[in-house]
Amino acid sequence: MNIVYVEKVSKEYQLGATVVKALKGVDLAVEGGEFMAIVGPSGSGKSTLLNLIGCIEKPTAGIVKVDGVDVVNLSSNELAVIRAGKLGFIFQTFNLLPVLTVAENVEYPLHLKPVGSKEKKERVDSVLKEVGLERFSAHKPAELSGGQRQRVAIARALVGSPSIILADEPTANLDHKTGTGILELMRGINKKFGTTFIFSTHDQKIVTMADRVVELRDGERAGD
């Protein structure tokens, strides 16, 4: 069984009087444990595809299955359960909450889970150690570099032990060396825990680290 299965998916946005076709019949099957990249020019539909897989948006047509569950017709409560139980998210702009400490940011996704406070702390400590930031747990995001902030975001994505992590251009706001370090960290987590990673990127050098590359162009699969 595929951990992610997308068939003939399209997504249209109504923008005033015009319809924007962000995805036009995309198929994608991902196996558990894959470390795969989605590439393509700006506007080609990468974020839209990740948001559909991440149960953040619903397709206009087509099938989206996450870990065997058809998510297209689920209620927003049911989708929230899937997001909290199976998915982790990493964004280009890190999306940390500035008023919270590093540890509080990482703990945040556990609010939705029936996890006791002792176990919460153990999980937060463990994932912060995984990303090499255990000494920074009491700091605020503003006190960290871009690379460190993205490591916090990776720890936050990991804390719920998701089977899939979706990363939308996770290195776009980082210099090349820092970005490569972030990809190496993600790769290490993929190997150690078997977590499936689907990331979008513009960075050709980073693409070479992926098991597989899927190209989007103008809302369609290209080049394979």
Ligand X SMILES: Nc1ncnc2c1ncn2[C@@H]1O[C@H](COP(=O)(O)OP(=O)(O)O)[C@@H](O)[C@H]1O
Residues lying near Mg ion in the complex (CB under 5 A) are found at: 46-47
Token duo for residue 143: 């006190």
Residue placing its CB nearer to ligand X in the complex, 113 or 217: 217
Residue 54 near ligand X by CB under 6 A: no
In the block, which residue shows the tokens 């989007």? Answer: 216
Question: How far is Cα 6 from Cα 66, in angstroms, rounded to an integer?
Answer: 9
Token duo for residue 6: 């997308």
Closest separation between CB of residue 168 and ligand X, Å?
A: 7
- Count residues contacting ligand X (CB under 6 A)? 12
Using CA of residue 50, residue 56, residue 60, residue 62, what is the dihedral sign? Answer: positive
Closest separation between CB of residue 220 and ligand X, Å?
A: 11
Q: Which does 211 bind (CB under 5 to 8 A by kind): Mg ion, ligand X, none?
A: none
Closest separation between CB of residue 116 and Mg ion, Å?
A: 37
Residue placing its CB nearer to ligand X in the complex, 64 or 110: 64
Question: How far is Cα 171 from Cα 169, in angstroms, rounded to an integer?
Answer: 6
Residue placing its CB nearer to ligand X in the complex, 44 or 195: 44
Question: How far is Cα 64 from Cα 28, in angstroms, rounded to an integer?
Answer: 9
DSSP 8-class letter at 89: E
Positions in 31-50 near ligand X (CB under 6 A): 40, 42-48
Closest separation between CB of residue 20 and ligand X, Å?
A: 4
First CA to last CA distance, the chain? 22
- Which three-class secondary structure state does DSSP give residue 163? coil
Residue ranges in contact with ligand X by CB under 6 A: 13, 15, 20, 22, 40, 42-48
